[in-house]
Amino acid sequence: MSRHPNEKSSSYSAQGISNASARPPARRGPSGAWSRFRPAVIDPLDIYGLPSKGETRLHDYKAQEAYYTKIVERYMKFCASTGGGDGLGKAFADLKITTPPPRPTDVAGDARPGLPHRVSNTERPNDMPTILLAMRKLREGVLGSRRRDQFAQRAYMFIIHACILTKSWESYQPALLYLLYSIHPRTPLSAPEVQEFIGYHILDLSCRQYELGEAFAVKREFRHRDRKVNVVLRSLVHDDWVRFWRTRRAVDGYQRAIMEFATERIRLHALKCVGKSYLIVEKSFVERTGDARWEELVQGGVGWQLQETGNVVIRKPKPK
pLDDT of residue 317: 80
Give percent of the chain with pLDDT exceeding 70: 73
What does each C-alpha distance from 30 to 33, 121, 286 come to in angstroms?
A: 9, 28, 73
Does residue 291 have a pLDDT over 90?
Answer: yes
Nearest to 134 by CA among 75, 61, 175: 75
Give the pLDDT of residue 37.
63
Structural domain contains residue 293: yes
Cβ-Cβ contacts under 8 Å for 189 (sequence gap 6 or more):
153, 179, 197
Q: Given this model, what pLDDT does residue 95 score?
A: 56
Rounded to whole angstroms, the Cα distance separating 196 from 210 reads: 20
Of 155, 171, 158, 262, which Cα lies nearest the Cα of 208? 262
- For 271, the enclosing helix (H) or strand (E) is helix 253-277
Q: Which among 126-130, 250-254, 300-304 has the top mean pLDDT?
A: 250-254
pLDDT at 99 over 50: no
- Domain residues for the domain of 316 are 278-320
In a domain, 251, yes or no: no
Can you list the pairs that 251-257 forms with residues at least 24 positions away whose Cβ atoms lie under 8 Å?
253/89, 253/165, 254/161, 254/164, 254/165, 254/200, 255/199, 255/200, 255/203, 255/228, 255/229, 257/92, 257/164, 257/165, 257/167
pLDDT at 5: 52
Query: How many angstroms separate the CA atoms of 133 and 137, rounded?
Result: 6
pLDDT at 24: 56
- Judge contact between 159 and 138, C-beta under 8 A: yes
Nearest to 262 by CA among 286, 294, 240, 282: 240
What's the pLDDT band for 319 if we cut at 50, 70, 90?
Answer: confident
Q: Is the pLDDT of residue 129 over 70?
A: yes
Residue 41: DSSP 8-state: E
If you average pLDDT over residues 186-193, what whole number do you get? 96
CB 102 within 8 A of CB 49: yes
Distance CA 97, CA 112 (A): 30
Whole-angstrom CA distances from 40 to 47, 108, 113, 114 are: 12, 21, 14, 10
Interatomic CA distance for residues 259 and 263, integer angstroms: 7
Query: Letter for the amino acid at 203?
Result: L
pLDDT-based confidence at residue 316 (cuts at 50, 70, 90): confident
Classify residue 317: in a domain, yes or no: yes
Cβ atoms 303, 295 nearer than 8 A: no
Q: 262, 206 in Cβ contact below 8 A? A: yes
282 occurs within a structural domain: yes
Flag whether pLDDT at 314 surpasses 80.
yes
Give the model's pLDDT for residue 123. 46
Does 11 fall in a domain? no
Q: How much is the pLDDT for 44?
A: 85
User: Closest Cα to residue 146, out of 51, 69, 68, 50?
Assistant: 51
Which range has the worst mean pLDDT, 17-21, 99-103, 148-152, 294-298? 99-103
Strand 117-119 and strand 305-306: pairing? unpaired
Residue 106, pLDDT > 70, answer no
pLDDT at position 25, please? 57
Residue 54, in any domain of the structure:
no
pLDDT the model gives residue 287: 94
Residue 293 above 70 pLDDT? Answer: yes
- Percent of the chain at pLDDT above 90? 63
Count of domains observed in the chain: 1
Residue 281, classed as helix, strand or coil, is strand
* Residue 289 counted as domain residue: yes
In a domain, 23, yes or no: no
Task: Write down the pLDDT at residue 35.
Answer: 53
Per-residue pLDDT, 85 = 57
